[in-house]
Structure 1
Amino acid sequence: MTFIKSISAAVIAVCVATVGLAETPTLRIAVLKFGTVNWELNTIQHHELDAANGFDLEVQGVAGGSAAKVAFQGGEADVIVSDWLWVARQRAAGRDYVFIPYSKAVGGIMVPADSPAQNMADLAGMQIGIAGGPLDKSWLILRAYAEKNHNMDLASETEQVFGAPPLIFGSAMSGEVGAAINFWHFGAKMNAGGMRTLIDVSEAASDLGLDPETPLLGYVVRGELMRDNPELVNGFAAASRAAKDLLANDDAEWDRLRPNMNADNDAQFAALVAGFRAGIPAEGPIDEAAAGRMLELMYSLGGAELLGEATALPEGTFLQNGS
């Protein structure tokens, strides 16, 4: 009888544990396999910040941003990383997507240390390598800055070479192009390799009356998920903030992450850590008036090809104060 009671107790314990596990929701995020966001997601998982906030984080590595968007729009992922301008475009088109801030890190235009260029006007006649395409947000902001400060049409007075970030990185480091605009982490490596920043995008944005504190990159979730399971979305936002706090203050955490950071030397490693930390957005709501000004400028530069029907900031674009 005692033996039977023991078995029964064990069965009940297993059933209770199984029910407990079943009640923990899984949040699926699709991100670039080797993107810098993985450093934050790795921190969340390693320190079980997901479990502490009531969910289980499942990271799906994809080959590119387009693949992530396909997975998200097809319901195979709950979260992706994109910029809020894309979210604004989707909302204007009737898709209920919401942006949770991740990073304000942006790149800049970089030249070799011995380049004669001292300002944007000196780039006239040069070949510029640009990560992305003609509608890259950094490129558009820098074009507006050159026009305002140097009466210069950067697009017509330079030759542009568009390509993937690693290709632009290689072309810049080899001297194949005279200047380069790349994602922030490649820019950090270029700086560590001896290149210098002619002007960074945040400086150009400030000069244009924009707020460089507005986070450009973030996590994107569906409004439906927020309505049906707000605790899950807010729990993810809390886990993200907790990971940021660790990465902002704990050097040992970066030592743990270093094997995943693709840093070839100490200088690159230090530049990547500093760049990530500089990109951590302040806690609190996003200034929607400042975001609206940025969107209006970007629409004036990229038009409907960039922003579709989003001529003004759609209501509900940002997750504000957990709602």
Structure 2
Amino acid sequence: MKLARSCSVLLFALVAATALLPVGAQAQTKLKMVLNWKFEGPQAWFFLAQEKGYFKAEGLDVTIDQGEGSAASIPKVASGTYDVGFGDMSALIDMAAKYPDSAPVAAYMMYNVTPFVIAVKKDSPIKTMKDLAGKTIGGPVNDGALKLFPDAAKAAGIDASKVSITNMAPNLREQMLTRGQVDGVFGYMLTVAFSAKAIGMNPDKDLRFIPYSDYGVDSYSNTVFFSRKLVKENPKVVEGFVRALNRAVKEVVANPDAGLEYVMKREPLLNREIERERLIATFSTQMSNPEIGKIGFGDVDDVRMKRNIDLVVDGDASARKPAVSDVFDRRFLPPRADRLSKM
């Protein structure tokens, strides 16, 4: 009896002591995250949140893996291989339309400006979408711009079937373009521009960009999303992740070099100056939609998101049209006052 009583007292003491520990010292919820692409400057906030303990302070043990394209991360989260992803909103909408029970749910919008382009050489005869007929355009199979091309072609009033599509490894995209092996390439403007710069090209002098936005494509781009299972069963984990990330985003925007330290720590072979330029350019071009002055960074405008859904789903008779709340859940956002209002 005395032994049993002693054990009970000891167990009570251990439970009480655990309750008094700071959150970061308690058992951590393990999360696996997959990024949109190989490690690069515009992922600085994820690494900073991890290295400075912001995730840990929320009770999270986050593992971050590089990705294979902005559309490729969506099925990896949908399948349960990863809990969290960073990737293209339009690809997420497409999955939600076709597989509503397994599609991930976005909770923090990062790239709120349409980044998709077709890049051609400066001396190319291709100057508009209408010049693409009979030409060969290439891109990695999971590239967001390639995935959205049929919708962009429809918006531009051209027949996408008259454009030949070829796939290549992501690291060969700019090389194949400059060698004339393809007439143009799909991609994010900054990704193509800085990858071209990394191989010695001058994107301002050597390339011409045909933006999808010139044809009325006003889509959202990369967002942070979570497995539907995690959102349903452990919403506090999602809320904590978003809170930690929002804290890191504000810090990196205020001091890009602080964030860049953790990028270089993760991938020392990167060109620091190019990644710094890429990071700052991302602020000014892909994260600077005027709407954030009204709704705050990380949120979406429901009317604009509805247009994005219409762009992706209209014309696909086999797909159900998801509601905005099916693809983006703002319940997990920090208060408006805690999120950025400008970049």
- The 2-side partners of 1:196 and 1:63 are apart by 24
> Which residue among 202, 207, 223 is the counterpart of 1:196?
207
Alignment CA distance shift 1:231-1:115 (3 Å): same
Post-superposition offset of 1:242: 2.1
Post-superposition offset of 1:188: 2.4
Post-superposition offset of 1:153: 2.6
- The 2-side partners of 1:74 and 1:109 are apart by 30
- The 1-side partners of 2:33 and 2:173 are apart by 28
Answer whether contact 1:188 1:275 (CA < 8 A) is retained.
no
Deviations 1:112-160 (A, max 9, x none): 233343333344443322332799334234313431xxxx43541x433
1:142 paired residue number: 152
Q: Give the match's secondary structure for 1:181.
A: strand
1:113 paired residue number: 122
- The 2-side partners of 1:189 and 1:98 are apart by 30
Q: Give the match's secondary structure for 2:330.
A: coil
**2:182 matches 1:173:** no
TM-score (norm 2): 0.70
Answer whether contact 2:136 2:183 (CA < 8 A) is retained.
yes
**2:301 matches 1:297:** no
* Counterpart amino acid of residue 199 in structure 1: I
Post-superposition offset of 1:318: 0.6
Residue correspondences, number: 297
2:287 paired residue number: 280
- The 2-side partners of 1:172 and 1:90 are apart by 30
Post-superposition offset of 1:179: 1.6
TM-score (norm 1): 0.73
Q: What CA RMSD, in Å, does the superposition of the two structures yield over aligned residues?
A: 3.8
* Counterpart amino acid of residue 102 in structure 1: M
2:30 paired residue number: 26
Post-superposition offset of 1:245: 2.0
Alignment CA distance shift 1:19-1:175 (3 Å): farther
Answer whether contact 2:177 2:184 (CA < 8 A) is retained.
yes
**2:211 matches 1:211:** no
Q: Give the match's secondary structure for 1:109.
A: strand
Post-superposition offset of 1:86: 4.1
Deviations 1:258-290 (A, max 9, x none): 463865584x43542234323236415312222
Q: Give the match's secondary structure for 1:182.
A: strand
Answer whether contact 1:53 1:235 (CA < 8 A) is retained.
yes
- The 2-side partners of 1:87 and 1:32 are apart by 13
Q: Give the match's secondary structure for 1:111.
A: strand
2:105 paired residue number: 98
* Counterpart amino acid of residue 110 in structure 2: Y
Answer whether contact 1:133 1:163 (CA < 8 A) is retained.
no
Alignment of 1:46-125 (within 5 A): 46-61=51-66, 72-73=77-78, 75-92=80-97, 93-95=99-101, 97-100=104-107, 101-104=109-112, 106-125=115-134
Alignment CA distance shift 1:242-1:15 (3 Å): same
Post-superposition offset of 1:50: 1.0
- The 1-side partners of 2:168 and 2:112 are apart by 23
* Counterpart amino acid of residue 52 in structure 1: A
Alignment of 1:261-280 (within 5 A): 263-264=270-271, 266=273, 268-277=274-283, 278-280=285-287
- The 2-side partners of 1:321 and 1:279 are apart by 24
Alignment CA distance shift 1:103-1:65 (3 Å): closer
- The 2-side partners of 1:74 and 1:119 are apart by 38
Q: Give the match's secondary structure for 2:328.
A: coil
Answer whether contact 2:45 2:259 (CA < 8 A) is retained.
no
Post-superposition offset of 1:29: 1.7
Post-superposition offset of 1:233: 0.8
Deviations 1:36-56 (A, max 9, x none): 475332121122221233422
Structure 1 segments (4+ residues) deviating >6 Å? 12-15, 62-67
Shifted more, 24-33 versus 41-50: the winner is 24-33
- The 1-side partners of 2:182 and 2:64 are apart by 36
* Counterpart amino acid of residue 326 in structure 2: G
Post-superposition offset of 1:78: 1.8
Structure 2 residue runs of 5 or longer lacking an equivalent are 1-9, 334-343
Q: Give the match's secondary structure for 1:56.
A: strand
Identity %: 17
1:161 paired residue number: 166
Alignment CA distance shift 1:72-1:175 (3 Å): same
Answer whether contact 2:74 2:91 (CA < 8 A) is retained.
no
- The 1-side partners of 2:270 and 2:310 are apart by 37
- The 2-side partners of 1:316 and 1:73 are apart by 14
Q: Give the match's secondary structure for 2:165.
A: strand
> Which residue among 309, 313, 320 is the counterpart of 2:323?
313
Alignment CA distance shift 1:284-1:81 (3 Å): closer
Structure 1 residue runs of 5 or longer lacking an equivalent are 1-8
- The 1-side partners of 2:268 and 2:119 are apart by 22
1:129 paired residue number: 138
